[in-house]
């Protein structure tokens, strides 16, 4: 048959390969031929698509079993015959065929052969929706429906039979700022597909986002969200925690300072004489609680002692020491 593709050979694995072997081989090759790693290289792009097709077939036990059956017949006489579409007959309801009555000459290429045997049809991708599900950490987000668009206009396979539909899961790591704000996000799946999704605001680790019809055979695809650690902000329930460094003079004198938040910097009044470790609160500047409320931003004060001083700074610190009245060791219990 024309266009037959040996998916095992494409991934560089044997027919006895386990699922882990197949997944490992696919990931290594997908990184090598990823379009982002080979900009403008059409051959690498085609190779990447072919790897996705092979992984999609061999990573699914049911598809793999059928493929193994189909492929043993690929070089038999009749595969190069003229294509005539299979018709529904009394002994062949719904146009289905079996190996016993299969006429290989009816199929113009390997794709047509597999499509017919799996009772699949081709259709253009349609706009689907994203669902946001309740999560089991005490915070339940409302269900929302958001549109997404496949990034390619190529045809995709769907299976009309519910028995072939299966849900699938994929992990998606999101920066904290993007998890907070939501918005459009382009994601690339392990099978090579790229989707643009309108992500909801206030995502948290462990949450699942539902993509209708983007799973196996028309099932749902669930994106399991993981919020990446941030170098400055930390989530503590619905509050956002951070540490704000101050100089000794800022801590002693207080004043109005600019403080970073997830929405951008805001002006905050620091009280005079604030102590290291003391916590201040920015109300309603934390993470989302439902759609209308937010937690607070908790700011812990750090006082940073300079290690390098200019001559002028040394002179001023020396003068201050002579003048200051505070004795921090006056009440030592010894």
> Exposed, middle or buried, 289 (CB in 10 Å: 0-12/13-18/19+)?
middle
Q: Output phi, psi for 73, to 5 deg.
A: -100, 0
Q: Which residues contact 214 (CB under 8 A, 6 or more apart)?
A: 128, 193, 195, 220, 221
How does pLDDT run across 36-52, given as a tens digit for each residue?
Answer: 777 788 888 888 888 88
pLDDT of residue 149: 41
Q: What is the dihedral of CA 311, 313, 315, 317, to 10 degrees?
A: -150
How many Cβ atoms sit within 10 Å of the Cβ of residue 46? Answer: 11
pLDDT of residue 129: 34
Full 3-state SS string of 223-285: EEEEECCCCCCEEECCEEEEEEEECHHHHHHCEEEEECCCCCCEEEEECCCCCCCCEEEECCC
In angstroms, the CA 204 to CA 243 distance is 21
| pTM (predicted TM-score) | 0.51
Give the sign of the dihedral formed by CA 28, CA 34, CA 40, CA 43: positive
Angle at 139 between CA 186 and CA 184, to 5 degrees: 15
pLDDT of residue 280: 97
Give every residue of the chain whose pLDDT is below 70, as ranges: 1-3, 72-163
């Amino acid at each position: 048959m024309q266009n037959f593709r040996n998916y095992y050979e494409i991934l560089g694995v044997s027919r006895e390969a386990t699922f882990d072997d197949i997944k490992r081989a696919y990931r290594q090759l997908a990184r090598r031929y990823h379009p982002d790693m080979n900009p403008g290289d059409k051959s690498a792009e085609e190779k990447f698509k072919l790897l996705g097709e092979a992984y999609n077939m061999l990573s699914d036990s049911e598809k793999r079993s059928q493929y193994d059956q189909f492929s043993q017949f690929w070089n038999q006489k009749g595969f190069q015959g003229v294509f005539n579409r299979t018709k529904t007959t009394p002994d062949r309801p719904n146009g289905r065929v079996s190996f016993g009555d299969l006429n290989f000459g009816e199929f113009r290429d390997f794709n047509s052969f597999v499509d017919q045997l799996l009772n699949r049809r081709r259709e253009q991708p349609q706009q689907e929706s994203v669902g946001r599900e309740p999560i089991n950490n005490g915070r339940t987000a409302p269900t929302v429906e958001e549109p997404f668009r496949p990034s390619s206009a190529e045809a995709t396979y769907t299976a009309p039979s519910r028995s072939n539909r299966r849900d699938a899961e994929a992990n998606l790591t999101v920066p904290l700022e993007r998890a907070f704000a939501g918005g459009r996000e382009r994601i690339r799946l392990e099978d090579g597909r790229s989707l643009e999704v309108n992500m909801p605001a206030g995502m948290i680790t462990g949450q699942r986002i539902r993509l209708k019809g983007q799973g196996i055979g028309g099932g749902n695809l669930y994106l399991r969200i993981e919020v990446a650690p941030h170098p400055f902000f930390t989530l503590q329930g619905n509050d956002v925690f951070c540490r704000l460094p101050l100089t000794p003079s800022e801590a002693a004198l207080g004043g109005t300072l600019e403080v970073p938040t997830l929405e951008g910097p805001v002006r905050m009044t620091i009280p005079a004489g604030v102590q290291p470790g003391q916590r201040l609160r920015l109300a309603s500047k934390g993470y989302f609680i439902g759609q209308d409320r937010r937690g607070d931003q908790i700011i812990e004060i750090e006082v940073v002692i300079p290690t390098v001083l200019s001559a002028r700074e040394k002179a001023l610190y020396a003068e201050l020491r002579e003048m200051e009245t505070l004795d921090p060791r006056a009440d030592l219990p010894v």
